[in-house]
């Protein structure tokens, strides 16, 4: 296999459509930390983004290695590089371990707290979620949700050694959003998960009950998002705070509307909720990044 083809297959195996969203949250945490400290360091930006990306790619590579037998049984995943045989399992294992090792070394050199969040995030995703709970309990995604919020905290603590209520509220947005995102997808691919023996929530309870649970999760996501914007008013001075609040209310409204559209006919419309949830998390943290940059460059 040519090097370019190998790299393309390897990067595709790491599921960039998944980790890019989490990388955005890590960048948002980093830029917010810069806005607080009022320090711009291009080297820090590039360095931290690199190890965040390496950590996310390495985690996905290792999870793909663990999930290879599952992926072979699911129509949605059977054509991925590992189950389809385009990459050797050892490539995913060794490549993932190298990326994780590089990430931990780089993050340790930057900040001990950032290292802790990278390490615990990787451990939660690869060991707690993929290896120990994914095949055993519907709580798998709840127990694995921490890994989704870890990049935000790792990016933030790359430049700071303290927390504030704003960053914690953003962390909980990701924690609550994660099951909404995954369970919506699981409704669509319920038969796939069932055939592979993965006990996602829609597999163990009827879809109608899953949809009712999704309402609680969607509402929780919306409420914590608006709450975080209210908390941010004291930091995002003047029009920026109200802009954040207005956008947060608007986005939260979209999540609720998407839920009700999906709940009427989940078999047909649930992917709309999944797509809206993707847009929601990406756009929210892009907004955080832009506002942080405006604060950073403002006199």
The pLDDT of residue 267 is: 85
pLDDT exceeds cutoff 70 at 66: yes
Burial environment of residue 90 by CB neighbours within 10 A (0 to 12, 13 to 18, 19 or more): exposed
For the chain, give percent helix, strand, coil, nearest 5. 85, 0, 15
Decide: 186 and 277 in contact? Cβ < 8 Å: no
Cβ neighbours of 259 (radius 10 Å): 26
Decide: 226 and 252 in contact? Cβ < 8 Å: yes
Nearest to 26 by CA among 95, 102, 107, 80: 107
The pLDDT of residue 296 is: 87
Hey, what CATH topology would domain 1-163 get? Tetracycline Repressor; domain 2 (1.10.357)
Decide: 192 and 74 in contact? Cβ < 8 Å: yes
In the numeric block, the tokens 């559209």 are attached to 261
Torsion of CA 31, 33, 36, 39, to 10 degrees: -70
Q: At what angle do helices 16-37 and 165-188 cross, to 10 degrees?
A: 170
User: What's the pLDDT tens digit per position in 128-143?
Assistant: 999 999 999 999 999 9
The mean per-residue pLDDT over the stretch 2-10 comes to 83
Structure tokens at 57: 């790619």
Q: Taking the CA of residue 5 as centre, how many other CA atoms within 13 Å lie in the half-sphere pointing to its CB?
A: 5
pTM over 0.85: yes
pLDDT exceeds cutoff 70 at 1: no
Domain borders along the chain are: 1-163, 164-299
In the numeric block, the tokens 């930057």 are attached to 110
The mean per-residue pLDDT over the stretch 137-153 comes to 97
User: What's the pLDDT tens digit per position in 70-87?
Assistant: 999 999 999 999 999 999
The pLDDT of residue 275 is: 95
């Amino acid at each position: 296999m040519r090097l370019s083809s190998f790299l393309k297959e390897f990067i595709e195996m790491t599921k960039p459509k998944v980790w890019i969203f989490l990388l955005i949250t890590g960048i948002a945490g980093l830029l917010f930390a810069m806005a607080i400290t009022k320090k711009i360091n291009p080297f820090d930006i590039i360095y931290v983004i690199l190890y965040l990306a390496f950590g996310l790619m390495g985690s996905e590579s290792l999870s793909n290695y663990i999930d290879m037998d599952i992926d072979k049984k699911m129509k949605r995943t059977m054509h991925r590089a590992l189950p389809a045989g385009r990459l050797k399992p050892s490539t995913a294992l060794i490549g993932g371990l190298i990326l994780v090792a590089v990430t931990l070394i780089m993050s340790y050199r930057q900040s001990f707290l950032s290292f802790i969040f990278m390490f615990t995030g990787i451990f939660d995703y690869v060991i707690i979620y993929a290896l120990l709970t994914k095949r055993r309990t519907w709580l798998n995604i709840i127990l694995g949700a921490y890994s989704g919020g870890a990049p935000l905290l790792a990016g933030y603590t790359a430049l700071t050694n303290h927390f504030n209520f704003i960053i914690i509220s953003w962390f909980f947005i990701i924690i609550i959003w994660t099951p909404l995102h995954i369970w919506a997808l699981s409704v669509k691919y319920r038969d796939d998960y069932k055939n592979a023996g993965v006990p996602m929530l829609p597999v163990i309870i009827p879809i109608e009950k899953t949809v009712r649970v999704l309402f609680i999760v969607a509402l929780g996501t919306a409420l914590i998002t608006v709450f975080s914007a209210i908390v941010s008013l004291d930091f995002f001075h003047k029009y920026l705070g109200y802009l954040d609040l207005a956008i947060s209310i608007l986005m939260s409204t979209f999540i609720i509307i998407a839920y009700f559209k999906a709940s009427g006919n989940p078999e047909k419309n649930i992917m709309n909720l999944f797509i809206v949830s993707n847009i929601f998390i990406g756009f929210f943290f892009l907004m955080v990044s832009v506002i942080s940059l405006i604060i950073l460059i403002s006199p």
